[in-house]
A and B are shown apart, each in its own frame.
Chain A
Amino acid sequence: MANDIAIVGYAQSPSLRQAELTEPQFLFPVISEAIERAGVERREIGFTCAGSCDYLSGQTFAFVMNLEAVGAWPPISESHVEMDGAWALYEAWVRLQHGDIDTALVFGSGKSSPGLPAEIYPLQMDPYTLTPLGADPVSLAALQARAMLDAGKITEREMAETATRSRKNAIGNPYAQVTGDDDPETLLKEPYVTAPLRRHDLPPISDGACAVVLATADKAKALSKRPVWIRGIDHRIDIHQPGMRDLTESPSTRIAGKNAGVGKGKVDVAELSATFSYQEKLLSQELGLGDGVEINPSGGPLAANPVMAVGLARFAEAARQIAERGKKRAVAHATSGQCLQQNLVAVLEGD
């Protein structure tokens, strides 16, 4: 079937509420570090693919500026997705299947601080029935959380426990923005932001970037002592209108997980783009992750949410668990759109 592709280098920027630097400026060291870790020469890279969101910059083709951080002279072969960098990784994975090149650079970046995300994201939705209502990500997530609460599929206490664990896990993570050791009781005393969601149920607003270097099998073995193999990867989409599906399920996650082969072996650790607290349990169940699976040891998106890099960062963190922490098999998940509309799942393994 597919050729084996490995992650041979990765790097992230710290997630900040407001980065002083421009996006190309904070991308530059991240890309350089990922390439250095991979041990390749910049000129060897056969394909470059980026994920970012022009809406955040309020400017068409804003993503072209980010190539300043890559070094595009002499001309390089590159592409861009208006999605999280995880989908750029998917495109690079497909490109490497052709076999004519052996390395690819992937990055995702976003600077959410200059604008108001609650006012920007409705612009990406159905322009006739959803955008005019100003349907923002937090309100839509709150609809999904309420549906799960009403169905008895989660409790507010469980949501607070997820937030608590994320913040504690993030204490050791130098890239994290939200850390802490509050217990669930303390968090549950806070008022609702958009009921039934409290502040701890929401991701932070972050500026940040992530980069990953991929290589084909022979190249990966030559470059790295511990290549992290992508054993399976798939992405699926549910219908756009939030009222046309059962919000307490995520069929796209289930199908992508099955196609990626999540259930074919024991999973040690999973890095999930559970951008809102309630999503972690939903995703875990759809992916069939049992009690023995460590979820989001980095703290996950509740601790750092660099939009357009947060999904790719799940790949970097899952790869770290294998390359640096001795884990054997990991799941990386990314999401896009409202209420987990689009989901990408990959299975990563060490040798």
Chain B
Amino acid sequence: MQERLTTHTIEFPYTRTLGPVYSAFLTGMRDGQVLGIKSRDGRVLCPPTEWDPTTGDALDGDLVPVGPGGVVTTWAWVTEPSRKHPLDHPFAFALIKLDGADTGLLHVVDAGGIDSMQTGMRVVPRWKQERIGHITDLEAFVPEGSK
């Protein structure tokens, strides 16, 4: 029997704002700059949130540049990437405490091999040439000094 195919295009015919914090954060990504936010107790949270994670207080949108480099606080080596992962070859997921930030940003490290990974290593971002205001504008972190 002949396979019958049909194409549906689902549209969301509206625009939405990401709010004061994520909007600034992702605009920063477009500009090649990672931003954090100051919490009430003076810590810098990255990724930034609209509310203090400990107290629930609204944060006033005091965004500050962090990075560009940072430290890997924990990591996982992905041997077989899925279709939804940002890289198509083995890589590490890592929590990265960027310079000037007090929390870990989840992202990927394109390290070449598992032997290049270790907790406490320094990494720097590799930006895409064309950036659209998306977390994956930052293509991957790479070991510092590896370029």
B47→A195 contact, CB < 8 A? no
Nearest residue (CB) in A for B101 is A243
Give the contacting residue for B47; candidates A134, A139, A150, A241; CB below 8 A.
Answer: A241
B53 near A244: Cβ-Cβ < 8 Å: yes
Contact A134–B84 (Cβ < 8 Å): yes
A31 close to chain B: CB less than 8 A: no
- A119 engages B77 (CB within 8 Å): no
- A133: CB under 8 A from chain B? yes
Any chain A CB within 8 A of the CB of B26? yes
- Asked whether A142 is an interface residue with its Cβ less than 8 Å from the other chain, the reply is yes
B93 sits at the interface (CB 8 A) = yes
A58-66, A97-105, A124-132, A324-332: which lies at the interface: A124-132
Contact A133 B26 (CB under 8 A): no
- B49 in contact (CB, < 8 A): yes
Taking a contact as CB atoms under 8 Å apart, the answer to whether B47 and A129 are in contact is yes
Report Cα–Cα, A147/B97, bound state, in Å: 14
The A/B interface has a contact count, at CB < 8 Å, of: 101
Say whether A241 contacts B103, CB under 8 Å. Answer: yes
The answer to whether B114 touches A135 (Cβ under 8 A) is: no
Cα-based distance from A239 to B82 in the complex (angstroms) = 26
In this complex, what residue of B is CB-closest to A195? B77
Which residue among A130, A139, A150, A192 has the maximum number of chain B CB atoms within 10 Å of its CB?
Answer: A139
Interface size class of B (residues with CB under 8 A): 35 or more
A78 at the interface (CB under 8 A from B): no
Shortest distance from the beta carbon of A281 to any chain B beta carbon, whole Å? 17
What chain A residues lie within 8 Å of B114 (beta carbons)?
195
Encode contact with A along B15-58: 1 for CB under 8 Å, 0 otherwise: 00010001001100000000000000000010101000100000
- A-contact bits for B104-118, CB 8 A (1 contact / 0 none): 111110000010000
Q: Please give the residue numbers on chain B whose beta carbons come within 8 Å of chain A beta carbons, in ascending order.
A: 18, 22, 25-26, 45, 47, 49, 53, 73-79, 82-86, 93-97, 103-108, 114, 119, 134-136
**26 interchain pairs (CB within 8 A)?**
A118-B84, A119-B83, A128-B26, A128-B135, A129-B47, A132-B136, A133-B136, A134-B85, A135-B93, A135-B106, A139-B76, A139-B78, A139-B93, A142-B93, A143-B74, A144-B74, A147-B73, A150-B74, A193-B79, A239-B53, A241-B49, A243-B95, A243-B103, A244-B49, A244-B103, A247-B74
